[in-house]
C-alpha cells in the first residue's frame, strides 16, 4: 500500500470541482453575417452550449471583419463585467481572417492558437490579466456535434486553467470519430494522456 501511495503521488487521483456559470460575451464576426448575406447560425449553437451549463449571454455583437472593431468589442465586454468572451468567425488562416489578431490586441495573454483536436484545430485560448478567458472558436463549433469547445468549456467553468501543455496532451485522443450514437463524454475524445 505504501508503494502504491508513493507511485500515486500527493495529488488525489480524482477531484470533483464545481462548475460556476458565467456571464459571457459573444463577438460574432464575418462580413457575410454582418451584411446579412448568410444567416448567423453560430450564435444559437453557442447559446445552447452555454445554456447546458447555466451560463448567461450578457452581451452579443455582430461585426464585420474589422480588427479594430473586434478588439474594441472584446474590451468593452470585459469592461462591462463579462467573465468570459467568445469570438466566432475569422479563425482560419485566410488573409482576411482578422479575429486572432483582434484577440491578441485586446490586452490578453494567448495560451495557444491551435490545438491537436479535430474538430477544432484552429481554436485560440487566451486569458486577461485577471484570469478571464477569451476564446476564438473555429467554424467547426457551429456544425460538429462535439469539438474542442466541448473539451475546454467545463475546465473554464471549473476555474481549471487551460494551459498549452494540457492542450498539447489532447493530441492523444483528440479525434472525434463521429459515432452514429454519440456517448460523449464517455468516449476517448479529448482524454489526453
Q: Is the pLDDT of residue 193 over 60?
A: no
Query: Which residues make Cβ contacts (< 8 Å) with residue 56, sequence separation at least 6?
Result: 21, 22, 23, 24, 50
pLDDT attached to residue 191 = 83
Q: Is the pLDDT of residue 62 over 90?
A: yes
Beta strands in the chain (DSSP E): 23-29, 56-63, 84-88, 108-113, 124-128, 133-137
Domains, the chain, in order of start with CATH, read 19-169 (3.40.980.10)
Lowest average pLDDT, out of 16-30, 61-75, 81-95, goes to 81-95
- The CB-side HSE value for 35 (13 A sphere, CA atoms) comes to 7
Q: How many whole angstroms separate alpha carbon 18 and alpha carbon 7?
A: 27
Buried b (16+ CB within 10 A) or exposed e, 12-47: eeeeeeeeeebebbbbbbbeebbeeeeebebbebbe
Cell of 153: 468549456
How buried is residue 3: exposed, middle or buried, by Cβ count under 10 Å (0-12/13-18/19+)?
Answer: exposed
pLDDT attached to residue 92 = 78
- Average pLDDT score, the chain: 93
Q: Calculate helix-pair angle for 42-51, 148-157, nearest 10 degrees.
A: 40
Q: Is the CB of residue 149 less than 8 Å from the CB of residue 11? A: no
pLDDT attached to residue 6 = 87
Cell of 58: 450578457
Amino acid at each position: 500500500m505504501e508503494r502504491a501511495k508513493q507511485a500515486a503521488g500527493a495529488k488525489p487521483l480524482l477531484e470533483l470541482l464545481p462548475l460556476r456559470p458565467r456571464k459571457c460575451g459573444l463577438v460574432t464576426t464575418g462580413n457575410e453575417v454582418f451584411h446579412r448575406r448568410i444567416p448567423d447560425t453560430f450564435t444559437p449553437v453557442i447559446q445552447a452550449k452555454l445554456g447546458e451549463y447555466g451560463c448567461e449571454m450578457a452581451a452579443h455583437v455582430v461585426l464585420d471583419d474589422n480588427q479594430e472593431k473586434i478588439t474594441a468589442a472584446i474590451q468593452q465586454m470585459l469592461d462591462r463585467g463579462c467573465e468570459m468572451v467568445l469570438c466566432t468567425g475569422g479563425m482560419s488562416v485566410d488573409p482576411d481572417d482578422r479575429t486572432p489578431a483582434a484577440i491578441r490586441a485586446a490586452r490578453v495573454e494567448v495560451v495557444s492558437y491551435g490545438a491537436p483536436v479535430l474538430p477544432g484545430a484552429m481554436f485560440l485560448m487566451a486569458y486577461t490579466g485577471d484570469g478571464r478567458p477569451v476564446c476564438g472558436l473555429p467554424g467547426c463549433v457551429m456544425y460538429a456535434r462535439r469539438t474542442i469547445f466541448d473539451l475546454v468549456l467545463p475546465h473554464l467553468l471549473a476555474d481549471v486553467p487551460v494551459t498549452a501543455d494540457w492542450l498539447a496532451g489532447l493530441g492523444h485522443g483528440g479525434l472525434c470519430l463521429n459515432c452514429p450514437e454519440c456517448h460523449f463524454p464517455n468516449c476517448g475524445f479529448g482524454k489526453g494522456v
